[in-house]
A and B are shown apart, each in its own frame.
Chain A
Amino acid sequence: MEQFFHILTRPDNIPIAGMLLLVLFYYWLGISQAVKNDKYGVNRNIDKVHCWPYLTRIEFLATLLIMVILTVWSITIDAPLEELANPSKTPNPAKAPWYFLGLQEMLVYFDPWIAGVVLPTFIIIGLMAIPYLDLNPKGTGYYSFRQRRAAILIFSFGYLLWVALIIIGTFFRGPGWYFFYPWEEWDVHRIVAITNVDLPYLFGIRSYFWSSVFGGGVVLGYYSLGVFFYLYLKKKHAELMKNLGLLRYVIIAFLFLTMTALPMKMFLRIFFNIKYVWVTPWFNI
């Protein structure tokens, strides 16, 4: 456990532990108000108050509080400074800044062009697209869960997954980016036999060409789940799908399936030692 506490209390890692607690607290704060609003209804007759003093005093107090926290934090804990940069001496593990450790953790499961470039781009585009994809007019301006179950669940899945990946990348990844439990020492000489295979190999396909075809089929089949779900929704909720439109549905389904592909790939890697699902001469997925 000594190793774990050492990592936990490193100056740069304290904000991460803080972030976890803050995210949990604010989720509780938001959802508890949502549950209350769902149960008792929301006050729709809101009056106005003067900005001075009712808002400015809160801003003043918040400023004081934050400045006190920052001052005490800056006096008690020093920013880290290691030895001079040396391109010929690679640290092990070499970690990205903590807010990008989600991306670095994704590198375990996907090649860099997906984990480091394509997925972050989709995350940013997907976040920007939310207001144009969510057509539900309900639940504006107050906490609510019942009014917008799907939206909150999908968003929270991505949000908490991101937080979880950062936590794993910071506290559980040691030398060689191996996974270390909190009670394990970070052993730089640890050797883990890599027994990963590609998905087509697991199914007994040995030919390079047919592996490509098989893998492509699996990926295509995965995304075609969106097509089947579309047909299902069109039958069950015709009105909803008409409002949503095909283009919006395609974007939502694609982004959603791409997001869930990450935990699925994690599952395949951890339990079945799958390296790639689809192998081609140009790229591997």
Chain B
Amino acid sequence: MKDDEAAAPTPPGRSSPRVDEARRRLLRSAAVGGVVVCASLLTLLDHRAVEAAPRLRPPGALDEEDFLAACIKCGQCVQVCPVDAIRLSDLDQGIGNGVPYIAARAQACDFSCDATQCVLACPTGALSHLIDAKEQSRMGVARLAAPDACLARKGEGFKGLARGEAFKGHLRYSDIDRWKPQPVASHPYDLGTCDLCVRHCPIKDAIELVPVSSDPQDRRRTPMVKDACVGCGVCEMMCPAEPAAIRVDVRVKGRDPGGPKT
């Protein structure tokens, strides 16, 4: 009988095939479990690597660590954005896989929706429901990162398409259509002094052009970012210099509307 075989004593130093298989099965299971857990931990390591270049998060995002914990990676914020500013990260972002971000140079959040639709869409509060106006968001702060490239600082004007014909980005041009964002590439400019960053800033008193010297003949101006700046990135998107002279420094801490401002 089969059962007798299994019960028969096995030669010393050798276990029965059935015991062997059971042991191998356990080992395999432990190995697979280990690999899967390690894969998930790798995403944490990966995340450490991408921390050096943090991504701009949508308005209302909690501080980065909390945000990554609270986001359920569903993309509902992506779906409601009228200018498609929000995208989802991929697995190369490690633990940030599936988390929304904004690539401001390609398409900034210009608050075309008027009041943070993405926040309303977020089911988890990773985009904090504590904000209900664009001025309350603290995504980052704009900074004139390459002053020498800034046309206004050189005292130059700007004529033509801000970002060229191939640029896909959209912007709210309220005087054309308040509810339909227009392609930036459909909107040529002719400016005596380039003020694109100031002209299109959706936040009141966030940026202004100030004279470089007290000489009234000096046409040079420098964009000065003020406290009201929320870091939406419209200035970065609209800057005609290549690469952009003005860029947003991403806030990773102190942006939680419920937390302290740093």
A and B together in one complex = no
Residues of A within 8 A of B (CB): none
